[in-house]
Structure 1
Amino acid sequence: MIRLLTVLAAVLVLGGSACSLPGQDSEPLQPHTERNGPTGPVPPGLDRFYGQELSWGPCETYATTAQDRPLYQDPGLECARLEVPMDYAAPDGETVQLGLLRKPATGGDERIGSLVLNPGGPGASGMSAAASMAGQDAELADRFDMVGFDPRGVGASEPQVHCLTGPERDADRLDSDADSSPSGVARSEQEEREYAGKCAERTGPELLANVGTRDVARDLDVLRSALGDDKLSYLGFSYGTRIGSEYAQQFAGNVRALLLDGAIDPGQSTVDQLVAQGAGFQRAFDDFAAWCAEQDDCALGRDPSAAVTRFQELTRPLVEQPASAMQDRRLSYEDATTAAIQALYAPSLWEQLNTGLHELRAGSGNLLLTLADVYYGREPDGRYSNTTDAFDAVHCVDDQRVHDPDEVRAADRRYREAAPFLDDGNPPSAARDMCSFWPVPVTGDPSQPDVSGLPPTLVVSTTGDPATPYRAGQELADALGGGLLTYEGTQHTVFLQGNSCVDEAGRDYLIDLELPEPGQRCN
């Protein structure tokens, strides 16, 4: 049973270089209330949402993870909640409260407006990303309020998507579901059916039915108006590009600028996206193997062509016998491969992966388990962020569901062929994932955006992006009729991560709306 990978490492990479508080020398911002809307067109029946007040104040109480707590103590940040309808077809019914975090612009009269961002997932916190990124580019900080929001169901937004407790998630990670026999398939599908039931029971079917990207884009337009911006300036990474393209589809006339980095192709089928992602991680693994072979202590040996086999020799035994690890925990096959995937998002993590594989060869799963914990958002006390729960909930209402067992088996076979380093050695499985048992219908529309009246947009795509392949960026740029900036490298997303060529081009676009020259490439 193969699932799409949670495309959230953008926030981990972006956040990793900004652990120092970006505004720690700022004068404390005073709590205050603003009413800036309604601004721009207001859909019928939504006046009170588009014109609502925002009460800004300190951010400490909005932190939901240990990583966020020190970031949110920055006195130069302010937080608020935005109220949106649970169901836009029934705006007088229940509502959702979205968490907002803002770093106000420092440029006075030079301020352009708000730059709203989303870092990926689905399920990653835009508030956390904004807190991490707020001080990374002085010119953008001068000209824009940097605004991050936690999408409905995510992070500090209320109510949250909630499926598993911490101990239940730990147990789920230990179960590799590798048995593809009829009895193994039946057992896996029963677990998936139970998982979907827990999500419905603990989250509520109404939020599950309205947690998809269709509704996040509508929330984004409410946010635009409440912030007082006639037009939206938006920066989306990874899955955040899907929010951006959906916004363009619904609200093309309300766009000022869309910069989309690490694009998801919204017109690609679930299976094709899965296989393309597998191929992307295999290319990243091959690049890692080539780098590793040049080191004095490569855990996979000095022959890159043998790296897949050596990786399989290290990890496949974990299917039957997990390795010992810290705090009386164990490293499963799933966790070992998840750790490798986490490390393949960026070359800066390759040394940790090599060390972790050396440890595994010696019988210890400590470092690989730590990498997997980062991927899943596991706290030191055993609690988890709700990133994985939210990812599953959004994926199950956004994307096509594959119900036919033969199609599922064929998809598994294609995935193993695309990413042999992730092949557990068992025959392809016909086990359906949790989405086949999801209690609410699909709300997404898997098609390329068909827009008119959209101003120029900019897509940044990386040739060796493991999670969102380069071709998806080309396809999205064509569909939006905008510019494409190519970065030649092996990592997931690149804007505002220290590449001066990419950063300058993106900055020029966001501030002056100037696209890079056609065909421009950075390395």
Structure 2
Amino acid sequence: MRRLGAMAVAVFTLTACSTAMPGTPLAAPPRGPVGPIPAGLEKFYGQELAWGDCEPYVNDELSKLSFKGDVECARLEVPVDYARPQAATAKLGLLRKRAGKPADRIGALVLNPGGPGQSGMVAAASMDWKSSLAARFDLVGFDPRGVGASEPKVKCLSDKEKDAERLKPPITGVSPEAVAAIEQENKEFAERCAKETGADMLANIGTRDVVKDMDVLRSVLGERKLTYLGFSYGTRIGTAYAEAFPGNVRAMILDGAVAPNQDRVQQIIGQANGFKKAFDSFAAACTKKSTCALGTSAPGAEAELDKMVDPLKATPLAVRDRKLSYSDAAIAVIQGLYSEELWPTLEQALGDFKAGRGDILLKLSDFYQGRNADGSYSSSQDAFTAIRCVDDPPVKDRAVVADEARRIAEGVPKGALDDEEDNAPALSPCAFWAVPNTSAPHEPKVSGLPELLVISSTGDPATPYAAGVELAKALGAALLTVEANSHTAFLQDNRCVDDAGTAYLIDLKPPAEGTRCK
């Protein structure tokens, strides 16, 4: 569910961050508090943001970006526990690019790029600031609690421990010994997360609390109604916000939708089949070329990939002072399947690997897992698990775990992209989590919403097209179908999609029913 494909296109060309020089001051947009304010939260809804230089907010992810205009950064203070607003607080990193045409400014467009665990500050800084949206809206990206430049961060493993985890050989089979080994690793991981992050933060890290933060942000930005753009897991945030604060919504685009009531097993099966479909499309294109590392037969491409990567299970490949493991290679292939734009990079990576060079595969895996050039890691992977463990009920009944493993084994395609650990009847890290879940998949109960826009791609590997259809129906939203092999589609150089989404956000006019883009 991570929205990585679009950003990964530039994984080898991003440059060091330079903070923008101040330009001509723009008229300040109105600030909060505005709109309804829940009792006891007045000081948060009415706080004034200290917008300023972004340099103090630069972290490992933001340092990869060169800002191409005037941006401002700030921190938003929110309660760690909304039931105890006078207790500990968290500070969320914000990045804003003010509207290019202040006289025509509509308001703020708040965005989340997915994950869970990805940086909205990075997403906002990466947007096309010459677009019609940037002219009419302040573009505001926020790092959710525990993520990126926000404080405190979710932390489970050290950088060295994460490197070591990647080099471990995969645990295969479903024997009692294999199950016990998987569970021991999962238990130790959960214990480390509780120790390093703290139970209070873990208990309030989920979507339930992120949407409350987002309503505070809406007010502090001076917006009576929220205009929101959410990708992938960001669609779950948007859905939850619409359910909790329907009267505070102006417009929402939800792109690459997470089905609102899918359980973990349905998600695993859906994604596995989605990536299998994406691999088959990639293989069909690759094997038409004599240079394709997977051969010249599309039906035999996955077997060829299996043969190529299988030796890594026993012996990782040396890549300068590091090693490329089997899990790295599998993750790199998955990363390369997020979008057709990444297919040439994946094709080159596999060709190099067949020739004994693993540099590009390792970079793709590093990008997916949040590893920086200096060996440090972002908080994205730790946050991903922490959020998922409170967003969904844990499964602790071993009979249920065994049934889920059977359903997964029957539902996922077999081959190089199959994760055997998903097929083992082992308790996940969430079964050992130190705090209870705060959300659960369910059919949204919404009323009084304006018409939202859901965008879904027919060849989306991570959040299959059917999930978008389901979410649009549940929210009574308009559906824009995109005939493409990509995870998310808006603002990715598809003029049909971009024009439809921009018209909706600016004029509140969704595309006509049945609209399709290619």
What range is the shorter-chain TM-score in?
Answer: over 0.9
Match of 2:424 among 402, 426, 429: 429
The partner residue of 1:452 within 447, 453, 462 is 447
Gaps of 5+ in 2: none
What secondary structure, in the 3-state scheme, does the structure 2 residue paired with 1:236 have? strand
1:411 Cα deviation from its structure 2 partner: 4.3
Match of 1:182 in 2: 176
Secondary structure class of the residue paired with 1:363: coil
Distance (Å, rounded) in 2 between the aligned partners of 1:458 and 1:105:
22
CA distance in 2 between partners of 1:161 and 1:29 (Å): 38
Pick aligned residue for 1:390 from 367, 380, 383: 383
The one-character-per-residue Cα deviations of 1:380-421 (angstroms, maximum 9, x if unpaired) are 111001100100100111023233241342144135x33533
Bigger mean CA deviation after superposition, 220-229 or 419-428: 419-428
Question: CA offsets per residue over residues 140-176 of structure 1, 9 Å max, x none?
Answer: 1111000000000000000000111111001111124
What does residue 401 of structure 1 align with?
394
Superposition deviation, residue 320 in structure 1: 2.1
The residue type paired with residue 141 of structure 1 is A
Question: Is the 8 Å Cα contact of residues 11 and 367 (structure 2) preserved in structure 1?
Answer: no
| CA displacement, residues 195-254 of structure 1 (integer Å, 9 cap, x when unaligned) | 111111111111100000010000000000000000000000111111000000000000
Q: Which moved more, 1:417-426 or 1:290-299?
A: 417-426
Q: Which residue of 2 aligns with 1:414?
A: 410
Distance in 1 of aligned mates of 2:348 and 2:226: 44
Partner of residue 2 from structure 2, selected from 3, 7, 18 = 7
Query: 1:147 aligns to what SS in structure 2?
Result: strand
Do structure 1's residue 205 and structure 2's residue 191 form an aligned pair?
no
1:16 to partner: Cα distance: 6.2
SS of alignment partner, residue 456 of structure 1: coil
**Cα offset for 1:134?**
4.7
Residue 465 of structure 1: which of 460, 466, 476 is its match?
460
> How far is the alpha carbon of 1:364 from its aligned partner?
3.3
Instruction: Give the direction of change, closer, same or farther, for the CA distance of 1:426–1:116 in structure 2 (3 Å limit).
Output: closer
1:215 aligns with 2:212: no
**Residues 3, 488 of structure 2: 8 Å contact kept:** no
2:271 equivalent in structure 1: 277
Give the direction of change, closer, same or farther, for the CA distance of 1:178–1:412 in structure 2 (3 Å limit): farther
**Alpha-carbon offset, residue 25 of structure 1:** 8.4
SS in 2 for 1:394: helix
Structure 2 counterpart of 1:330, from 323, 330, 336: 323
Equivalent residue number for residue 308 of structure 2: 314
CA distance in 1, matches of 2:17, 2:200: 38
**Mapped contact 1:192–1:434 kept (Cα < 8 A):** yes
- Which of 212-221 and 27-36 deviates more? 27-36
Indicate conservation of the 8 Å contact 2:51/2:72, yes or no.
yes
User: CA 1:59–1:49 in structure 2 vs 1: closer, same or farther (change >3 Å)?
Assistant: same
Query: CA separation of 1:11/1:215 partners in 2, compared to 1, >3 Å: closer, same or farther?
Result: farther
Q: 2:101–2:135: 8 Å Cα contact kept in structure 1?
A: yes
Aligned to 2:501: 506
Aligned-partner Cα distance in 1 for 2:277–2:453: 25
Is the Cα–Cα contact under 8 Å of residues 7 and 120 in structure 1 kept in the other structure? yes
Structure 1 counterpart SS, 2:272: helix
In 2, the alpha carbon distance for the partners of 1:270 and 1:299 equals: 34
- TM-score (structure 1 length as normaliser): 0.93
Q: Deviations over 1:124-144 (max 9, x none)?
A: 00001001105151x111110
Amino acid in structure 2 at the alignment position of 1:494: A
Structure 1 position 70, deviation (Å): 5.5
Tell me if the contact between 2:169 and 2:314 (Cα under 8 Å) persists in the aligned partners: no
1:129 to 123, 136, 142: 123
8 Å CA contact 1:284, 1:464 repeated in 2 = yes
Shift in Å, 1:191: 1.1
Is 1:148 aligned with 2:138?
no
1:480 aligns to 2:475 (yes or no):
yes
1:450 to partner: Cα distance = 1.1
User: CA–CA distance in 2 between the matches of 1:419 and 1:247?
Assistant: 37
Moved more, 310-319 or 334-343: 310-319
CA distance in 2: counterparts of 1:234 and 1:370, whole angstroms: 32
CA distance in 1, matches of 2:455, 2:13: 22
Which residue of the partner structure matches residue 373 of structure 2? Answer: 380
Which stretch of the first structure deviates more once superposed, 401-410 or 293-302? 401-410
Counterpart residue identity of residue 400, structure 1: P
- Segment drifting more, 384-393 vs 314-323: 314-323
Alignment check: 8 A CA contact 1:463 1:469 kept: yes
Matches within 5 A, 1:9-408: 9-10=4-5, 12-13=7-8, 27-28=22-23, 36-65=31-60, 67-69=61-63, 71=65, 76-137=70-131, 139-180=132-173, 181-327=175-321, 329-403=322-396, 404=398, 405-408=401-404
Instruction: Give structure 1 stretches of 5+ with no counterpart.
Output: 1-5
Deviation of the 1:330 alpha carbon:
1.7
| Alpha-carbon distance change, 32 to 172 in structure 1, aligned in 2, over 3 angstroms | farther
CA change 1:28–1:71 in 2 (3 A) is farther
Report the residue type matching 2:115 in the other structure: G
**Partner amino acid, structure 1, of 2:426:** A
Residues 302 and 436 (structure 1), Cα distance of their counterparts in 2 relative to 1, 3 Å cut: same
Cα drift, residue 188 of structure 1: 1.7
Whether the aligned pair in 2 keeps the contact of 1:15 and 1:132 (CA below 8 Å) is no
Residue by residue, what CA displacement relative to the aligned partner does 1:419-447 show, whole Å, maximum 9, x if unpaired?
Answer: 53323679942222211111111111211
Instruction: For residue 91 of structure 1, report the CA deviation from its aligned partner.
Output: 0.9
| Cα shift at 1:33 | 9.6
The root-mean-square deviation of aligned C-alpha atoms, in Å, is: 2.4
C-alpha distance in 1, partners of 2:184/2:17?
A: 47
Cα displacement (A) at 1:321: 2.1
The CA deviation at 1:346 is 1.2
2: CA distance between counterparts of 1:385 and 1:297? 35
Contact 2:26 2:102 in 1 (8 A): no
Where do residues 489-504 of structure 1 align in structure 2 (5 Å cutoff)?
489-504=484-499
Structure 2 length as normaliser, TM-score?
0.94
Between 1:270-279 and 1:313-322, the stretch displaced more is: 313-322
Q: 1:73 offset after TM fit, Å?
A: 5.1
* Matching residue of 2:515: 520
Answer with 406-415 or 50-59: which moved more. 406-415
Give the SS at the match of 1:56: coil
Helix, strand or coil at the partner of 2:74 = strand
Q: Distance in 2 between matches of 1:167 and 1:41?
A: 46
Matched-pair contact (CA < 8 Å) for 1:15–1:133: no
**What is the identity percentage for the equivalent residue pairs of Structure 1 and Structure 2?**
50
| Whole-angstrom distance in 1 between the partners of 2:421 and 2:450 | 50
| Change in 2 beyond 3 A, CA 1:326/1:399 | farther
In structure 2, relative to structure 1, the CA distance for the partners of 1:356 and 1:272 (3 Å cut) is: same
Task: Please give the alpha-carbon distance, in whole angstroms, between the structure 2 residues aligned to 1:193 and 1:77.
Answer: 42
Q: Match of 1:363, as an amino acid? A: G
2:19 and 2:66 in contact (8 A); partners too: no
1:37 offset after TM fit, Å?
1.6
The one-letter amino acid of 2:498's match is D
- The Cα of 1:341 is off from its aligned counterpart by 0.3
